Amino acid sequence: MENPSEDTPTRWEGLPSWLLSQTANHAHRLVGDGFSSVGARGYHYRLLTTLEEAGPASQAALGRRSGIHLSDMVATINELAESGLVERAPDPSDRRRNIISLTSAGKRQLRRLEKRLAESQDELLAPLSPEERQQLAGLLSRLLDHHNGRTGTPEEPWS
C-alpha cells in the first residue's frame, strides 16, 4: 500500500470489503499515530478506559469487559505497569487473581489518549459533513449489530 505509482485501477478497488478495509487502515494509522505519540497503542487505551469505567478488577474480568484476549492482557498490563499507569496487586480473597487498578498517572495518560483520539476522529472524518458522519456511523452500526447479534447466537438459550 501507499505506493500506487503505476496508477492502480484494479478490479477489487470497488468492493465494499476493500473500501472498508482501506478506510479502516487509514483510521487505524491515524489513531495509532496519535496513541504512539504519547507512547501507547490501542490495547493501552482500551484497558485504561475499561479500568476507569469498571474500577479495579481482575485481569479476566477486564478482559471480558474490554474484549481483550486474556493472553494479550498479560502483556498489556505488564507494559502499563512498567510505566506506572496501572497497578497489579494480589487479591487477598482469591489468590488466583490479581487486582488491577488505575493510578493517577494512568488517569492522566488516559486524558491524553482521549485527546489524541478525538483529534484522529476529526482528521479521519474531515471530508464529511455532520449529517454524512452520522449516516456513516448509522450504516456501520447496522452492519455491526447484524454481524455481532445474529452470528452464531442460538435463539434458544441452551439449558
Partner DNA sequence: GCACAATCATTAGCGGGCCGAACGATTCGT
Partner DNA sequence: ACGAATCGTTCGGCCCGCTAATGATTGTGC
Q: Applying CB under 8 A, which of residues 35, 43, 44, 45 lies at the interface with its own copies?
A: 45
Q: How far is Cα 65 from Cα 80, in angstroms, rounded to an integer?
A: 18
Q: Applying CB under 8 A, which of residues 93, 95, 96, 147 lies at the interface with its own copies?
A: 147
Q: How far is Cα 158 from Cα 24, in angstroms, rounded to an integer?
A: 36
Task: Say whether residue 25 binds DNA (CB under 7 A).
Answer: yes
Q: Applying CB under 7 A, which of residues 47, 73, 80, 102 lies at the interface with DNA?
A: 73
Count of residues that bind its own copies according to CB under 8 A:
59
Q: How far, in Å, are 144, 147, 152 from residue 156 at the CA level?
A: 22, 18, 12
Angle at 128 between CA 40 and CA 114, to 5 degrees: 25
Tell me how long the chain is.
159
Q: What is the DSSP letter of 128?
A: S
CA-nearest of 55, 73, 52 to 63 is 73
Long-range contacts of the stretch 22-26 (C-beta < 8 A, 24+) = 25/1, 26/124
Nearer to DNA, 67 or 130 (CB): 67
Please, which of residues 31-50 interact with DNA by CB under 7 A?
Answer: 32, 36, 41-43
24 binding partner (options DNA, its own copies, none; Cβ < 5 to 8 Å by kind): its own copies
Binding region for DNA (CB under 7 A) out of 93-101, 106-114, 122-130, 150-158: 93-101
Q: Name the site residues for its own copies (rule: CB under 8 A).
A: 1-6, 8, 10-12, 14-17, 19-28, 30-31, 45-46, 49-50, 53, 61, 64-67, 117, 120-121, 124-128, 132-133, 135-137, 139-148
